[in-house]
Amino acid sequence: MSLIFQPLSLRSVTLKNRVVMAPMLMYTGQEDGKVNDLHLAHYAARALGGVGLITTEVVAVDPAGRISHKDLGLWSDVQIDGLRRLADMIRNCGARSCLQIAHAGRKSQIEGEIYAPSAIAYSESSRVPTALSVGQITNVIEAYVSAAARAVETGFDCLEIHAAHGYLAHEFLSPLSNVRNDAFGGSSKNRQRFVLEVVTAVRKVWPDHKPLIVRLSAEDKAGPGGAMLADTISLGLQLKDAGVDLLSVSAGGLSPVFDGEIYPGYQVEYAAKLKHELNMPMACNGSITSSELIESILHGGSSDLVYIGRALLRDPFWLLHVAREIGIEPDLVIPTYARATGPYQRGH
């Protein structure tokens, strides 16, 4: 029996299947951070293709926290309407929606000053960031909260806090990028403080009936001395207590180098171990491009949801082809799409 098309409920939100569109930057925005027609077309196509949950590309909580000048943003009320239209379109196309918020930290490539926990560059070719003062850290946390409050007005079903892949929240977690000696650095407990304060504050403004997701890099994979799985298990227990409903588990991204092998499903083991230790819903990703691998992950209990990225970029209707291959007829918002997946009979 296929588990791909089994529903899953998180708080009041029920997903019609176990496939999630991974957050992927498209760099199709503009300086004002507003949603445009390209965003609407891009996400709507994957929603019409049957994906259960559509996750946006990263949405910056602060202009200084953008990865590029073409990022979406939610640092201003004027950005709410476009995101509301996007959430409505995803819903009308038959999927649930998730808004991902983040601050780029030292990985920002915008002009002007960039910020991080410590003055350590992302790579030899990157700019050295300015170390945030405690007061500036407080301001960044407030920016997350303000963005989350605006996210309520957009109507998105879920909210995801990006604390992975070397962006600001991950930078605080790793001893390789955080060498502070105050309340936000030093011990593992102190390095986890920023993420926990963000999550705790966001959960207070994000509606109780809606799921809150956190994306984590289970291990830094950036060489000796980085954060390991045991650190992530410790953090995960606290995130669960803080009201997080699902962890989206990845790895690496702290530096340009990934210290490990890459193969189909290479990050699934992290989700499996965290699921076992934390007893909470997990999502996995990592070069997953076949329905057979997804079925294996779900049947093995390694993860509850599977994030798909490049396969959906190549083919927005990838999941409809999967359904046809395993003999399932999913409900389609536009029923005539079924004619494109076979059997190929003459139509009128």
| Residue 283 β-bridge partners | 248, 305
| pLDDT attached to residue 34 | 98
| pLDDT attached to residue 55 | 98
**Total structural domains in the chain?**
1
Neighbours of 139 (CB within 10 A): 12
Residues 220 and 197: their CA atoms lie apart, in Å, by 21
Point out the least confidently predicted range of 317-321, 334-338, 340-344.
Answer: 340-344
Residues contacting residue 298 through CB under 8 Å, at least 6 positions apart: 3, 4, 6, 18, 304, 306
| pLDDT attached to residue 297 | 98
Residue 116: pLDDT over 90: yes
Residue 348: pLDDT over 60: no
Strands 19-21 and 72-73: unpaired
Of the pLDDT bands very low, low, confident and very high (cuts 50, 70, 90), residue 81 is: very high
The 10s digit of each residue's pLDDT in 97-111 is: 999 999 999 999 999
Residues 86 and 93: their CA atoms lie apart, in Å, by 11
* CATH number for the domain harbouring residue 49: 3.20.20.70
| pLDDT attached to residue 335 | 87
Do the domain assignments include residue 321?
yes
Do the domain assignments include residue 33?
yes
Are 178 and 188 in contact, with CB atoms under 8 Å apart? Answer: no
Query: 53: closest CA among 304, 228, 241, 329?
Result: 304
Residue 340: pLDDT over 70: no
Do the domain assignments include residue 2?
no
Of the pLDDT bands very low, low, confident and very high (cuts 50, 70, 90), residue 339 is: confident
Domain residues for the domain of 69 are: 8-340
* Furthest CA-CA distance within the chain: 72
State the average pLDDT over residues 319-341. 86
Q: C-alpha distances in angstroms, 131 versus 19, 134, 136, 175?
A: 38, 10, 9, 14
The 10s digit of each residue's pLDDT in 177-218 is: 999 999 999 999 999 999 999 999 999 999 999 999 999 999
State the average pLDDT over residues 32-45. 98
Do the domain assignments include residue 346?
no
Do the domain assignments include residue 142?
yes
| pLDDT attached to residue 331 | 87
| pLDDT attached to residue 193 | 98
The 10s digit of each residue's pLDDT in 275-329 is: 999 999 999 999 999 999 999 999 999 999 999 999 999 999 999 999 988 999 8
Q: What is the dihedral of CA 107, 112, 113, 114, to 10 degrees?
A: -10
Residue 338: pLDDT over 90: no
Counting residues of the chain whose pLDDT is more than 70, the rounded percentage is 97
Query: 52: closest CA among 305, 315, 334?
Result: 305
Do the domain assignments include residue 164?
yes
Do the domain assignments include residue 153?
yes
Instruction: Tell me the pLDDT of the chain averaged across its residues.
Output: 96
Do the domain assignments include residue 199?
yes
The 10s digit of each residue's pLDDT in 54-80 is: 999 999 999 999 999 999 999 999 999
| pLDDT attached to residue 337 | 80
